[in-house]
Structure 1
Amino acid sequence: MGVSYLRVSVTDRCNLRCRYCLPPAGVKPVAHEEVLRFEEIARVVRAAIRVGVRKVRLTGGEPLVRKHLSRLVAKLAELDLVDDLSLTTNGIFLAEQAKELKVAGLHRVNVSLDTLDSERYRFITRGGELARVWEGIELALELGLEPVKLNVVVIKGFNEDELVKLASLSLERPLHVRFIELMPFGPARAWFREAFLSAAAVRAQLEKHFGPLLEVKKLRGAGPACYHRIPGAQGTVGFIAGMSGHICFSCNRLRLSATGMLHPCLFGKGEVDLKGPLRAGAGEEELVRLLAQAIALKRSRPSSLPEIDHLSRLGG
């Protein structure tokens, strides 16, 4: 499969400390000067278009902690052939910035939401306020930042009893609830085995309650998720089987870290430095060559275990 999707981490910093992602004190942030500038990101995206990229997603850390993010959105929105410009966020600052991002040219948002219980949310995020997230989700729907997708990391013993309730969000609103398998990165590595619940098990639980789910063949921005619809629902439910589903062979993405390292694969070794060449004066042809090099690395078979310690440094 060709590469058409670039995930861009705009910062390694995050305002939350989710228990499966970061230790309580977080990880030491990189120096400000080591993070790619907006113009450098735009140069990479322009080169990426030439190797087939048509979808760009801004991630973090938490992207909305990066100051003046709408300026980057505006730069990328001006580029021809970027058909889908999106953002993944924990939602805490979404209500404050959604209108500005929409005006700048952002198409849609994904919001992380692992529970509908405010106390559980505060626990899993180590202090997050669920009400602020919901305010952002409501405003995103109102502004038309759609499809609005909700990312639910499924954790046995934490939120498995909420799966039906979470899926029910798709019934009355055009929300797309995606159930994501826990992956053994960072802190989650220590308790992965006892906390893992497969996408197949999640689907079985939903179908036991709702009956057979209807297949959905197309959804804007659809990546590794397999989408279905509860009969009569406005939105959808999706399943991302990152561990059990062998999705590597259908993966169409590259990941650019906040410090300018291009990662072809979460599960394989090998990364390509773009920041060094960018700051040494590399032109677009050189960037295209480096992107092609990363794509070639991607085509090699993945290893069996993740190589990344903290997904927050890369953007998921």
Structure 2
Amino acid sequence: MIINGILENEGEPAVVDGANQRPYYLRLSVTEACKYRCPYCQPTAPSSCTPNSRLLKPHQIGELIGLMGASGVTKVRLTGGEPLQRPDILEIVDEISRVPEIQEIALTTNGGELANYAGALKRAGLGRVNVHIDSLKPERYTELSGGFELAPALAGVRAALKAGLGPVKLNVVLIKGVNDDELIDFCEFAISEGVIVRFIELMHTGPSQPYVDQHFMTAESARQKIMEHYQLTPQFEDRGRNPARQYDLNGGQGVIGFISSESEPFCDGCNRLRITADGTLLHCLYEAVGISLLPVLFDSNVGQKERIDFIEHAIGRKRSHHPVLGQAGKRLFSMASIGG
């Protein structure tokens, strides 16, 4: 199917029948902007970002999510960049919450502004949040974030818990020689604060390849270290629906998880889709070229049924094992630019 020449059939069938992938989970980047300068993601200011004039407006996002919902998407996660840098983030959440097919709206944030937004986000329709915190040591956190303080992020976590945006998850990137001495501290935080802590492997996606190579640590090695201090009981879940292998700490005192994106890719059964801040659909973060959704979304000559058919056809091109996965390390792109 081709509408205005924007989707061409390459003659390459999807590896997995699209019906087997439903329901779909969409990660929607609402901005590429982020003030943080994490060393493995965006250590310096980006040379360019999608200008505000080209970012989708809240009502446009609502229309797009309506089409995605009609095509099998039931869960939306708002990402960036830092989504709370969008001054209209509450309107965006409200628009998405009006789509009947969407059962859950989540958001990933660095947490720096979360305390100011948590209650309003909940009222707008947000279900839960993930907060990115790589260190519980104030000085180390400041160094890793590029100059920001830990206290506001922790306040954001507690505000999210108070607002009912749970289960709140902490995303902790494993950095060998930098924060691997805090594994037990994070486990204790999971128990004391009632959050789920997820340890995530560094990924070879950003502009800092030497840093990633130097500090890469497998999730399994982290798990082994933690097992020296805690009893871990695995929770059995469908990895296609949840990339984290989750464990109860000491019989249920807390919960932690491990995401092994590099050492144990979980492509089989993956139901994730991504839309970048400029409206490009990606079936996988390693995909070199996506499908622009803007022409079909804003072409007044395209009817609603054609729009849905187009979206379903575009989604149906998702593969269970992406053909470029083995070459991922050769591609340099920041997670901020693609929706982290």
Give 1:144's match in structure 2, choosing from 144, 152, 164: 164
Q: CA deviation at 1:15?
A: 1.8
8 Å CA contact 1:177–1:237 kept in 2: the answer is yes
2:174 matched to 1:154? yes
Q: CA deviation at 1:279?
A: 2.7
Give 1:194's match in structure 2, choosing from 208, 211, 214: 214
Q: CA deviation at 1:77?
A: 1.2
> Residue by residue, what CA displacement relative to the aligned partner does 1:86-108 show, whole Å, maximum 9, x if unpaired?
10000001001111111111110
Q: CA deviation at 1:41?
A: 1.3
Other structure's SS at 1:247 match: coil
Q: Distance in 2 between matches of 1:235 and 1:283?
A: 50
TM-score, reference length from structure 1: 0.93
- Who is 1:265 aligned against? 284
Other structure's SS at 2:78 match: strand
1:1-316 to 2 correspondence within 5 Å? 1-3=20-22, 4-211=24-231, 213-217=232-236, 223-281=242-300, 282-299=302-319, 301-302=321-322, 303=324, 304-306=326-328, 307=331, 309-316=333-340
Q: CA deviation at 1:68?
A: 2.0
| CA distance 1:87–1:66, shift in 2 (3 Å) | same
Q: CA deviation at 1:234?
A: 4.2
8 Å CA contact 1:170–1:233 kept in 2: the answer is no
8 Å CA contact 1:149–1:178 kept in 2: the answer is yes
Q: Distance in 2 between matches of 1:268 and 1:32?
A: 24
> Residue by residue, what CA displacement relative to the aligned partner does 1:221-259 show, whole Å, maximum 9, x if unpaired?
962111111014443101111111120113111001010
Q: What amino acid is aligned across from residue 137 of structure 2 in structure 1?
A: D
Other structure's SS at 2:267 match: helix
User: After the TM superposition, which segments of 4 or more aligned residues of structure 1 sit over 3 Å from their partners?
Assistant: 232-235
Other structure's SS at 1:54 match: strand
| CA distance 1:28–1:226, shift in 2 (3 Å) | same
TM-score, reference length from structure 2: 0.87
Deviating more after overlay: 192-201 vs 89-98: 192-201
Q: Distance in 2 between matches of 1:30 and 1:8?
A: 14
**Higher-Rg member (1/2):** 2
Q: Distance in 2 between matches of 1:148 and 1:224?
A: 16
Q: What amino acid is aligned across from residue 327 of structure 2 in structure 1?
A: L
Q: Distance in 1 between matches of 2:320 and 2:171?
A: 29
> Residue by residue, what CA displacement relative to the aligned partner does 1:169-218 show, whole Å, maximum 9, x if unpaired?
1212320000111001223322222211111111111111213x112236
8 Å CA contact 2:129–2:168 kept in 1: the answer is yes
Deviating more after overlay: 270-279 vs 79-88: 270-279
Percent identity over paired residues = 38
Q: What amino acid is aligned across from residue 160 of structure 1 in structure 2?
A: D
Q: Distance in 2 between matches of 1:23 and 1:275?
A: 31
Q: CA deviation at 1:301?
A: 3.3
| CA distance 1:284–1:311, shift in 2 (3 Å) | farther
CA RMSD of aligned residues (A): 1.9
Aligned residues between the structures: 314
8 Å CA contact 2:241–2:271 kept in 1: the answer is no
Gaps of 5+ in 1: none
